[in-house]
Structure 1
Amino acid sequence: MTAVAEAVEPASPAIQGRSPLMLALRRLRRDKVAMVSLGVILLIVLMAVFAPVFAHITGHPPNEQYRDIGLTADGLPKGPNSTFWLGTDDLGRDILVRIAYGARISLLVGVVATAITVAIGVVLGLAAGFLGGLVDTVLARLVDVVLSVPFLLVAIALVSVTGPSLSITVLVIGFFSWASVARIVRGQVLSLREREFVEAARSLGSSDTRIMFVDILPNVLAPVIVYTTLLVPVVIVTQATLSFLGLGLPPPTADWGGMISASQNYYTTAWWFIFFPGLALLVTTLAFNLFGDGVRDAFDPRADRL
């Protein structure tokens, strides 16, 4: 009778474990501020992707100068109206369309420069922390040198030799940002290289390269992801700063930093000229920072309440 009862009794469902990544994503979804920030970021991305749609709807290409209808009789920018929704700049160009195209530059530089920075920093940080010895000493001194070099002076020198361009901007930002990533990764690797799973991999004959990229790298991805989300707004602001100083993209390319720089002489007579590009930069960096804070809290094991 007992055997029959056990046969009829339904099997209990298997308990499914949840990985740290799944737990972090679950915490992140419950963070309302992070989710709102992610929504804002997606809207900015859509604005950048569909920038030509803005130009088509308004009928104003980004670099077209409307000196007859886009400027006042005194040659000043016109304020927001039915023709130019966010007003015009000092050359009679549509600010709305230029902000949309400027979002492309900011996001492109932010993503590409951050990817280069993280890739270099992770590889060198892994090598320094795992190999140790002379390699660690040389790379640690290299990190100190990079962090001590004056960023703006080198940027000015490079631009004076090569001229302003998108590639120079990305390379300069990437070169001066990887050292912080490498230092973070190195510290994480130093605490992991003597763990049991690394010793087990060594006993099985795994090479140093396999141990670094297969066994150790997945365990340092959490702080790298957090730092990456916080690095993107820093890169965007840095690119805008270079453009503001005349070291970014050459005109007439639509760029938020360049637009803010061109509006300096008009902030008392044409507030919209500096307000809307500055607002776009502020909203973008604030959204990335708040989302990065949410990602950091989600990956923090001390915040685990599940």
Structure 2
Amino acid sequence: MNDSNRPPATALTTNITLRPDMGPPFAAWQAKFTHAAAQAQGFLALDIAPAFAGSADWRIIQRFRSPEALRAWQDAPQRAQLIADLAPMRDPHVTATAHDTLHSFDPLSCVTEVITTVVEPGKEIIFRTWAETIQSSQSSFPGYMGTLVQAPVSEASQYWTTLVRFSSPDELDAWLGSSERKQLLQRVEPHVASWKSYRMPSPFAGWFPAAGDKPPPAWKQTALVLLVLFPVVMLEIRFLSPLLAGQHVAIATFIGNAISVSLVSWPLMKIAVAAMGWWLRPSPARRSQLEALGACTMLALYLIELAVFMLAF
């Protein structure tokens, strides 16, 4: 798609690589950045996440309701100052980049708590200031994997949505049950009409139902989905894309995604889960051997897929 035909961007991605031991100052910076973005005209959502648990690479996606609102945020002196404040935290050996994007980033190897809050009319400024404080606090807890903050999407749906991500259920529970969080919730309760919270324990729960107390590890789920999805996408590129070449990119993408999701959901994932069940949930008596054999099997299958498509295309 030519740049001249591309729709105006409404989101901006900022990629950064932190220097070692910059966790605490970066946590405080995230809170300030979230507070500033949430006050900007046309703010829709802010997604801050690392590439993986413990990674120094972070991605900050800033979404706005219109291209004009995005440009105003890009040119805002407050944003410029906050980006400048990042300079001492960046790894000097990695070039910082910022570019427009239409795609979000959500790490799969984590557990997420979804919190929806209805703010009392006229108390929005108080709520945003409080949100800055609680984000700064949660960012300092072990296992923190980023936050997504979304403003009310319409007058008919007047609630703020926050996704809080941690590496494991235990680390998330440590934050949710902490005295710091309880004190902060007590402080904001007079200013909110209602709030509720629920957990998203598994990114592919429908494909990997829990056996006993928990589903397979998220990284195994992701690895198996990749194994199944890759050949579907490659076949679509080879055979479906030429048939849809005359269609609008949105229509072509929708058709391709619909076919991919349908094939992966049924029957491919059911077959893959059944075939690799011994690795997804290894027997405790032979866990080490099965884990190693499963990892080698997955690697071999990846290589086979790559070889097949590199030769066929």
Q: TM-score, normalised by structure 1?
A: 0.23
Q: Which has the larger radius of gyration?
A: 1
Q: Which has the higher strand share?
A: 2
Q: Which has the higher helix share?
A: 1
Choose between structure 1 and 2 for higher RCO, CA contacts under 8 A separated by at least 6 residues: 1
Q: TM-score, normalised by structure 2?
A: 0.23
